[in-house]
Structure 1
């Protein structure tokens, strides 16, 4: 595992073997950040990394200049590893040990990007709950994007605010954004006049 781009490009990550994680592969991370580069200037972003695990996605955002990165995981070993690695890499990453749903229900900050990589055995109801809380509580900026990583056997395109998905091997990224249908309708009406 390594950092793919930015000021820390090429730095290797060596998390303890005992951490209960399934890290996002380097190939998937590269594909994800290629998509995000087309939608955002990654400098100055505020990012929330849920089920952060080893923190590899958080480090990618930090390497590319994100100014606020909050990482949340339920495992203390993961949180300690993120804190230690962020310090080594001189990155401003806040790591929190918390159940993700409990964190989202209490949290107030709005983010440009929220990334979540829950366990692959998550139920459809659990995925639905995360999406619902993020949009109901306005934790995502109006122009922001929420990305959920999941197994190819999980289908999320029926959920509110679903935008598009991209598959990479057995992994899928589902992207959620605030619905812009009204804006698109207004633009098309303006073009007709």
Structure 2
């Protein structure tokens, strides 16, 4: 696995040894980041990479101009790979690795009224395929309080899976299928008209 563009183009990433991860292919990654570039969401972005695995999406975002990435994973092998990749790329100062369950992490974030509340400009969410649709919706619901009207959530699922069920306040504004992989772009309700102009 490698970074395909930006400041760290060509850098090879360590993959979790013995872990059942599903890295995003270069073809899908290239198309995904081309669309994100079009939305202007990458530069100086505060990024959250859920179910991060080796961190391929989060580190790609940093290579292309993101300012900070929080990686979340519960697998020990993935956590080791994330820390190794951050060290290898010299990004320890702007990459934070969180060990644990995604829902538990989101539940622990300060709420919107708290002075230390977090808002993420870009969120990658590539849950394992066996994760039930209700759980996906619950994660999105928790996540919605840490977004603003310009934030984008990228949900990667199997093409054969149904479109994620949106909780109140969120909507899918674009979806693309690449072979066996489906990408759903999600924002707070009311922003889809604004991003439509950026679509090709």
Name the TM tier (shorter chain). 0.7 to 0.9
Distance in 2 between residues matched to 1:30 and 1:114, nearest whole Å = 17
Q: 1:146 — aligned with what?
A: 153
C-alpha spacing 1:178/1:88, structure 2 compared with 1 (3 Å): same
Pairing 1:154-193 to 2, within 5 Å after superposition = 154-156=161-163, 158-159=165-166, 160-180=170-190
Counterpart Cα distance in 2 of 1:134 and 1:174: 15
SS in structure 2 opposite 1:65?
coil
Q: Give the conservation status (yes or no) of the 8 Å contact 2:133–2:164.
A: no
Q: Aligned-residue CA RMSD in angstroms?
A: 1.8
Q: Unpaired runs of 5+ in structure 1?
A: 185-193
Match of 1:12 in 2: 12
**1:113 is aligned to 2:122:** yes
TM-score, normalization by structure 1: 0.88
Question: Matched residue of 1:148: which SS?
Answer: strand
CA separation of 1:15 and 1:179: change in aligned 2, threshold 3 A: same
Gaps of 5+ in 2: 111-117, 195-200
Secondary structure in structure 1 of the residue aligned to 2:149: strand
Q: Kindly indicate which of the two structures has a greater share of residues assigned to helix.
A: 1
Instruction: Confirm or deny: 8 A CA contact 1:114 1:140 kept in the other structure.
Output: no
Deviates more, 1:142-151 or 1:10-19: 10-19
Whose Rg is larger? Answer: 1
Count of residues paired in the alignment: 182
- Return the structure number with greater relative CO, CA threshold 8 A, min gap 6: 2
Would you say the 8 A contact 2:41–2:122 is kept in 1? no
* CA distance 1:164–1:87, change in 2 (3 Å): same
CA deviations 1:80-138 (Å, max 9, x no partner) are 21111111101121111110011111113110001110001121111111111111xx2
